Amino acid sequence: MSEEYCTRRRQFKKCKLRWRASRGAKRSLGWIAVKAVALRYKNGQIHYQGQPISLWDSYGLANYDLRSGSFCEDARGRWYLNVTVDVKKPPSSQGKGSIGIDLGLNDFAVMSDGTKIEAQRIYRGAEQKLAVAQRANSKKRIKALHAQIANRRRDFLHKLSTELVQNNGAIFVGDVNACGLGKTTLSKSVYDSGWSTFRTMLRCKSYSAVRQWTCSVCGIGHDRDTNAAKNILARGLALMADLAFCQISVAGEAKAGEAAMNEVVGASTTAGLDMALWMQESSRI
């Protein structure tokens, strides 16, 4: 914790950090940094500083070497263990098809091949339970319902976006103005759909999925990073060639101007220098 405190002071450039609020509406959520040497997994429990802590192991932590991480608390008062582990890189996308997607409210998405993805309407389905919890003024129940709604929506969007990226090489999504529609009477349905989150997931997963591809014309394989480096080299050489041409042109015009100035009878040295400088500046322009 001391190292984390010093790191945050350097990061935010402050001589001291304010205290975390432990009570009230703006209570700070719990967070504890953990080093790898202080963390062990044994017999279904996490041992932190020698103290056993029971947890629901949904990832099979016994199969991994635990690195640094943290304990964190969510808004519902539940604690989680965030830990870094080494895993094998999943295979990249092999999809070669193309698909267009039209986002909507009656159907969440309509594909160019005719497939329709039904709108989930997750918030609409939980409105009655939310109303009961709000009338009972049960803050804990309200937080639990909102967390459940967000988790279900995120799960649906993750599964759909992953499936599309794995099965297609090119994905085109309609540019729906979610912010504009959010100001109309359809705002509740628009925000319940999660269009912007879905497009962000598609963009991130598509960017990381395609790192190598084979040209459909010549059959040569390309690596994305290698190809980018070659493009940078070609662009740099082109800029150097243009810069060298400009320098040669400026030097040639300056010498011609100097020769012409020497032929002028009675021209003063100062006037000749000013004229040569002016010609050099004009040639650069």
Write down the number of H helices and E strands in the chain: 8, 12
Are 159 and 191 within one domain? yes
The answer to whether residue 91 is domain-embedded is no
Taking Cα atoms as reference points, which of 127, 192, 206 lies closest to residue 162?
Answer: 206
Q: Tell me which of 216 and 161 has the higher pLDDT.
A: 161
Q: pTM value?
A: 0.59
Q: Domain of 233?
A: 223-284
User: What average pLDDT does range 127-153 have in this prediction?
Assistant: 92
The answer to whether residue 266 is domain-embedded is yes
The answer to whether residue 218 is domain-embedded is no
Q: Is residue 209 within 8 Å of 165, Cβ to Cβ?
A: yes
Are 7 and 59 within one domain? yes
pLDDT band for position 92 (50/70/90)?
Answer: low
CB atoms within 10 A of CB 137: 8
Alpha-carbon dihedral sign for residues 144, 145, 150, 156:
positive
Among 83, 107, 133, give the residue marking a domain's end: 83
Are 183 and 130 within one domain? yes
User: In the chain, how many domains are there?
Assistant: 3
Q: Is residue 133 within 8 Å of 139, Cβ to Cβ?
A: no
pLDDT band for position 149 (50/70/90)?
Answer: very high
CA 76 to chain centre: 27
Which pLDDT belongs to residue 134? 92
| Residue type present at position 143 | K
Q: Is residue 68 within 8 Å of 84, Cβ to Cβ?
A: yes
pLDDT band for position 249 (50/70/90)?
Answer: low
How many Å apart are CA 44 and CA 55, to the nearest integer? 8
The answer to whether residue 161 is domain-embedded is yes
Got the DSSP string for 97-147? EEEEEEE-SSEEEEETTS-EEEP--HHHHHHHHHHHHHHTT-HHHHHHHHH
Tokens encoding 181 = 């529609």
Are 11 and 58 within one domain? yes
Pick from 66-75, 196-205, 210-219, 236-245: least confident: 210-219
User: What average pLDDT does range 146-162 have in this prediction?
Assistant: 93
How many Å apart are CA 115 and CA 164, to the nearest integer? 12
- The percentage of the chain sitting over the pLDDT mark of 90, rounded to a whole number, equals 15
CB atoms within 10 A of CB 194: 22
Per-residue pLDDT of 40-70, as tens digits, reads: 888 888 888 888 888 888 888 888 888 888 8
Tokens encoding 189 = 């349905």
Are 193 and 239 within one domain? no
